[in-house]
Structure 1
């Protein structure tokens, strides 16, 4: 796989792969990041994986640009792309309606499908989490079926409710907190995605998310259970299944 190195600053380097949204490429980026963390790489002070790049911050008193390049080259050389990595699939309930998803009909019109068909299309794919960013807990995931990959709004909304689920071109994601945003909203999850008092996320880069359609009665039931701490997300592991 082709890749290049760039010195971003005197204490930061970037590994750049071909500019594309590609699961295999991003899994390699996630693997490099994970191995640098697991190996407690000397001098590394921060690791930022993105769609097709990996930024590594380091202390030049403890390591050097070339030492890190050599270490990353070795990880890439030894990477086994065919090896299963035990990814988790997190099943996330979503209520798709015009109250929670004001763009539901517009996206259906864009895809020349009914709202019911749109929901089946959106829930019929397991979405890979390429990177986290923008907000704590905001997962950039793909890829949305081309038929419903409607571009984001030209004028972003000033406020989007926490839990809102939307699409922006080939990407899909959930707003973990109230926020401005320009994604096309399809529905909302009753799950509290981010709690600043307990910022442990239920999903991470490299995981998959599977949306499950629920009606409003079930939405409210799950919301109450989640607020009490009684609701458990369904988590499917490669080779098995468990609830977490």
Structure 2
């Protein structure tokens, strides 16, 4: 399947007595995930009775429902035409968010280790990390935590054997082929290579500016640029740039 071509198969299976799983594939594939995001939008727009939550992963969507209102047979029958429609619909052009990152230093303690793993200089690791756009496959683990891929094979270093007890908010890391940023301070085992000055999560406004299906393009900034952006973010005057 290339270039956003329609898909011709999927699986629909029950999960307990109040959930079902829609499976579009069995691998981390950007086109499959974009189809999944299209399906999520169609289900939300349909406003089907009884649906409690939509829980996406890389290539699956778990749909939980109120067993008093609906059941597996009824809901799966209703979902099938929506799935068929989403699998053949044209794919929308995703928004690409430009995210500033200060690589290395105290905010990127694992950059040197990733460079050693890749047999490259730290500058080459930064170049590899910023040279491509990353698809946000889904949000999870923490509010606003974006699972993105795919990292260049050369720098796809596995997670830490022993997770850190606290990783600062804004930290940007690598875990194998995945990359992501920590919206809030949290324990974690990702290889931290830098930090963004952006405020990625605000409890007063929990909806992130980015969402699953968007793309992220990281760009390197200096210490001085980092401090300027951080000040603008605190003052509410920094606007995250985006391209289509």
TM-score (norm: length of structure 1): 0.93
Distance in 1 of aligned mates of 2:38 and 2:11: 17
The count of corresponding residues between Structure 1 and Structure 2 is 237
CA contact (8 A) 1:89 1:210 kept: yes
Distance in 2 of aligned mates of 1:81 and 1:105: 45
Distance in 2 of aligned mates of 1:173 and 1:152: 12
Equivalent position to 1:137, from 131, 137, 144: 144
Give the CA deviation at 1:108. 1.0
Distance in 1 of aligned mates of 2:57 and 2:24: 10
Match of 2:60 in 1: 53
Give the CA deviation at 1:16. 2.1
Q: Secondary structure at the match of 1:172?
A: strand
CA 81–111 in structure 1, closer or farther in 2 if over 3 Å, else same:
farther
Q: Secondary structure at the match of 1:165?
A: strand
Unpaired segments ≥5 residues, structure 2:
1-7
The yes-or-no answer on 1:16 pairing with 2:23 is yes
Give the CA deviation at 1:30. 1.3
The yes-or-no answer on 1:100 pairing with 2:107 is yes
Unpaired segments ≥5 residues, structure 1:
238-244
CA contact (8 A) 2:173 2:190 kept: yes
Give the CA deviation at 1:82. 7.0
CA-to-aligned-CA distance 1:156-211 (integer Å, 9 cap, x gap):
00110000000000000000111110000110000010011221201100000110
Q: Residues 1-244 of structure 1: matches in 2 within 5 Å?
A: 1-79=8-86, 83-237=90-244
CA-to-aligned-CA distance 1:50-95 (integer Å, 9 cap, x gap):
1121011112333331232223321232235572313110000000
Spell out structure 1 runs of 4+ moving beyond 4 A: none
Give the CA deviation at 1:113. 1.2
TM-score (norm: length of structure 2): 0.93
Distance in 2 of aligned mates of 1:2 and 1:150: 33
Distance in 1 of aligned mates of 2:234 and 2:163: 29
Give the CA deviation at 1:13. 0.7
Give the CA deviation at 1:5. 2.0
CA contact (8 A) 2:166 2:188 kept: yes
Worse overlay, 136-145 or 39-48: 39-48
CA contact (8 A) 2:35 2:91 kept: no
Distance in 2 of aligned mates of 1:8 and 1:219: 46
Question: In angstroms, what is the RMSD of aligned CA positions?
Answer: 1.4
